[in-house]
Structure 1
């Protein structure tokens, strides 16, 4: 993990050093400043980068803002959006160890925003984070209904419970099923056409 990354050059240097050392660790960028957020387009396209993490505490200190959910919406959204080009994005830790309800809310918000995980600063946080990132039974059932309908429809757009189902919803359903650790009923997203 490379801390305080603000440009792709920093990742390039680490990837080069790792290659020269003949080891194969995965290089992750820790984005902890407004400059890092602004530099995300160049950072996420750096060859050899395995993923990105958000460092909210350092970001808040540099930006002069509070370390609250609302103050972090913009940088978190920017990180997830930039990483959507094919990299996993992991959310910042929740620092109040005694506040399990706050951790749960923060982790569920991270899931909603599109993060694939959340950093834990203490083992007591692991089960809450794991539960938040695991789809609920209701989400899993809805995803399976979408995949079943898409499979039956073949190359046509279809509906589930009165809602249109097309390629973006099929992809989202596949992601939910994979997040649950189950094999999806549909392994590829069919090209959908209106019939």
Structure 2
């Protein structure tokens, strides 16, 4: 799989690997599912989770398997189980250096940058050939700094989390890889999720991860352009065919960057 082939999203749902009864249900609700062998599974249940992963296959084209960090005690066992499946896309938890990727060569890798070192090394990680996407993780990042919360009292991200989010997005974009936005933990707050997902799409993220099936429709809504946005994009591109160069459209100066925005809007409409 090349980076251009990574089309999973925009609504990506985590599913605990030790809940095989949820695999198919998660895929019914989501655009793609992350079967999670790491944080979603208690350490003493990971061996059972690996057996469930092998014995309960679902669509590999829409499935990512999150494995434990390179060098951890569970990592080798995760890869051994993965080799018994048809899954070819994995998410490497706590990716920190390009060297971490050597052990997963041959897989399409979603590099999860969720520590201070991983965020600082995001450009070098994004440049790696097997990396098809980058995701950032807010809570693990703040924990790696000795902090206590990624968000402030109003619910927005703290500056350090926003910096990490931007760093990972820029690194992914610089090397033509997809960027995946972090999860929104307040399951009941659909309004906050919608605002954050709209910002993610407008900023350039290709997908948003989530922890609850009830968040799927909200994320899809955020990533799908409205009919008004689609029509405006069509009209702008039509006007560009006769205008030539810089021109004015509905009182706005339009040049090539804005035309690229319009083309991206139509591309998102086609996908959704």
CA distance in 1, matches of 2:144, 2:224: 33
Checking the alignment, whether the CA contact within 8 Å between 1:44 and 1:83 is kept in structure 2 is yes
The answer to whether structure 1 residue 4 and structure 2 residue 91 are counterparts is: no
Aligned residues: 173
2:201 is matched with which residue? 111
How large is the RMSD of aligned CA atoms in angstroms? 1.7
2:228 is matched with which residue? 138
CA distance in 2, matches of 1:157, 1:48: 39
2:163 is matched with which residue? 74
Note the alpha carbon deviations across 1:35-90, whole angstroms, 9 max, x for none: 11110111111112111111112112113152223312111111111111211101
* More moved, 65-74 vs 127-136: 65-74
2:172 is matched with which residue? 83
CA distance in 2, matches of 1:170, 1:78: 26
Q: How does 1:41-190 map to 2 (within 5 A)?
A: 41-63=123-145, 64=147, 66-68=149-151, 69-71=156-158, 72-85=161-174, 86-154=176-244, 156-181=245-270
| TM-score scaled by length of structure 2 | 0.60
Note the alpha carbon deviations across 1:77-121, whole angstroms, 9 max, x for none: 111111112111010111121222221122122123221110021
- SS across alignment from 1:89: strand
State the structure with bigger RCO (CA 8 A, min sep 6), 1 or 2.
Answer: 2
Residue of 120, 123, 130 corresponding to 1:38:
120
CA distance in 1, matches of 2:118, 2:137: 10
Structure 1 residue runs of 5 or longer lacking an equivalent are 19-24, 183-195
CA distance in 2, matches of 1:140, 1:107: 19
CA distance in 2, matches of 1:9, 1:159: 50
Structure 2 residue runs of 5 or longer lacking an equivalent are 1-90
Runs of 4+ in 1 over 3 A off after TM superposition: none
CA distance in 1, matches of 2:238, 2:210: 36
